[in-house]
Amino acid sequence: MSRVGKKPVPVPSGVTATVDGQLVRMKGTKGELSFMVPDEVIVAIDGGAVKVDPKDQSKTARSKWGMSRAQVANLVEGVSKGFERKLEINGVGYRAAVAGKVLKLSLGYSHDVDYEIPAGITVTTPRPTEVVVTGIDKQKVGQTAAEIREYRPPEPYKGKGVRYAGEFIFRKEGKKK
């Protein structure tokens, strides 16, 4: 039994939820999101909450049950609060700046890296060494942050590079003479 799937997803005030067959739509103050629930899972609105249940007790239905409930919960949180990922840039001369729909990164290469900001995502740089990625779709926010981090992942010797805020980097000792 899925412990995650058992809990109904509460729909807060200001968010409207609609279920049309297998399509779940959420509309809130931040925007509108939808998710196509797999056929092995039944979804219904029950007294101000979205209830997710498996169609039968097969392994595939049970495995998609908790995932579907988590996706619906992410829709609710996204349209009501939104999601945010913070990135920190460490290194001499490493910096970031937003110019229109492009994030310009100076990461120690011979050229600046220009990252095209996807639609539905907002990228801000409160400081030159900090990048904040925000949006309503959790998957898009995480993917965008991962793509920015991928340009220069943190290295283990000096810790230079782009890392998530609060991420622990396992440090190695350098060569001995």
Tokens encoding 23 = 């399509």
42 with 101, same domain: the answer is no
Residue 43 pLDDT greater than 70, yes or no: yes
The DSSP secondary-structure symbol of 155 reads: P
Total tally of structural domains belonging to the chain: 2
48 with 106, same domain: the answer is no
The pLDDT mean for the chain works out to 91
**3-state class (DSSP) for residue 125:** strand
Residue that terminates a domain, selected from 33, 49, 80: 80
Assign residue 75 the CATH number of its domain. 3.90.930.12
Residue that terminates a domain, selected from 80, 109, 138: 80
pLDDT in tens, 86-97: 999 999 999 999
Tokens encoding 57 = 């007790």
pLDDT in tens, 45-70: 888 899 999 998 888 988 899 899 99
Taking CA atoms, 159 is separated from 70, 87, 144, 162, in Å, by 34, 14, 21, 9
Query: What is the C-alpha separation between 143 and 149, in angstroms, rounded?
Result: 10
Residue that terminates a domain, selected from 45, 62, 80: 80
Q: pTM of the entire structure?
A: 0.87
Task: Encode 53-62: b = buried (16+ Cβ within 10 Å), e = exposed.
Answer: bbeeeeeebb
Residue whose tokens read 């970031």: 96
